[in-house]
Amino acid sequence: MGWIETSGGYAVTLDGTRVLCRNAAGRALKQVPAKLKDDAEVVRLRQLAEWLERHERECREQVDAWLVRSLPVPVALLARVWPDAAWQSALRDLVVAPVAADGSADTARAGFLRDADPVRGLGIVDLDGDSVRLDPAKVATVLIPHPVLLEELAELREFAAELGVEQGAEQLFREVWRRPEPSDDPADAGSTAGTAGTAQDWRAYANGKFEQLRHATARAVSLGYRVRGGQVVCPLVEDGRPLEAAYWLGDDYPDTETLTGSLEWRDAAGRRLPLADVGPVAWSEGERMAALVYAGRVVVSDEEGAL
């Protein structure tokens, strides 16, 4: 945007989400002078910058929700928001796949999103490296697949690196976790309540020590999760079915020591699901949540433990 004149011969402008200032001689300053703190134009630009930052964050969060919840996205919607720089930054270079008649993702026609137009449809770079168009008359919706659903994920990541892909929303390089195969051992490592086929909780991230419960809950909130009833929760959708992952943090006083507990998945009615019934996206995102929170635990080194 252009420069806006303010008091004292100064002029201000917005560069992305940063307010820049120059003096009457046209020299750019390192920062806005303190005497312009309450200038009307400076205040308006700072408010605009705050709105832009919030808008960019909300766009990324919405795209992340489409990915995590495997929600089909209308091509017309993508074309409508594409001119917005914040939306384009969040969407550009994501892998998208046409939704087939049966509602599944046609991954054979997937590609990296490069353009969205209401008339010409979506412009993608397909997995052979060719630039193609998805005709909006034939492709009404697309899926932004969760990486755990993508076959040959490692090869896709290498191809993305060759193309110089930089995704605004975390997709290809999002860490994924896959549910272990059911064990015949009744003591099935990492779970309780019998074999993996009947177990209802996953204890791979149990017994993580936090000096204060508030430290665990603050970490969970800072990562974008909600805390409810002593658990950090992540709402999910798998095959159109709403459910949530829940990881125990503790329900004592905020300033008391706590140990994390098990990770479980529940349906919309609050019933715990057997681990064998948890789908790949729900499993990956639930374990991702638990791993991120667990990483903030107190770790005692061997040397400290020997003292």
Q: Where does 70-163 sit in CATH, by number?
A: 2.30.30
Tokens, residue 146: 């969760």
Delimit the domains of the chain by residue range.
4-61, 70-163, 178-307
pLDDT at 219: 97
Other Cβ atoms within 10 Å of 153 Cβ, number: 15
pLDDT in tens, 9-34: 899 998 888 899 999 888 898 889 88
| Residue position matching structure tokens 């449809």 | 121
pLDDT in tens, 235-281: 998 888 999 999 999 988 999 999 999 999 999 999 999 999 999 99
Query: What is the amino acid identity at position 5?
Result: E
pLDDT in tens, 120-142: 999 999 888 899 999 998 999 99
pLDDT in tens, 174-189: 999 999 876 544 344 4
**124 contacts: CB under 8 Å, gap ≥ 6:** 96, 110, 111, 112, 113, 114, 131, 132, 133, 134
For residue 106, which phi and psi values (nearest 5 degrees)? -85, 80
Q: How far apart are CA 178 and CA 281, in angstroms?
A: 9
Query: Left if phi > 0, otherwise alpha if psi is -120 to 50, otherwise beta: which for 7?
Result: beta
Which of the residue ranges 1-5, 169-173, 219-223, 242-246 would you say has the lowest mean pLDDT?
Answer: 1-5
| Residue position matching structure tokens 């051992």 | 185
**84 contacts: CB under 8 Å, gap ≥ 6:** 59
For residue 35, which phi and psi values (nearest 5 degrees)? -70, -15
pLDDT in tens, 193-248: 434 456 889 999 999 999 999 999 999 999 999 999 999 999 998 888 999 999 99
Q: How far apart are CA 214 and CA 173, in angstroms?
A: 30
pTM above 0.85, yes or no: no
Query: Left if phi > 0, otherwise alpha if psi is -120 to 50, otherwise beta: which for 2?
Result: beta
Query: Left if phi > 0, otherwise alpha if psi is -120 to 50, otherwise beta: which for 247?
Result: beta
Question: What percent of the chain is helix, strand and coil (3-state, nearest 5)?
Answer: 30, 25, 45
Tokens, residue 121: 């449809």
Q: Where does 178-307 sit in CATH, by number?
A: 3.30.310
**96 contacts: CB under 8 Å, gap ≥ 6:** 110, 111, 112, 113, 122, 124, 142, 143, 144, 145
pLDDT at 225: 95
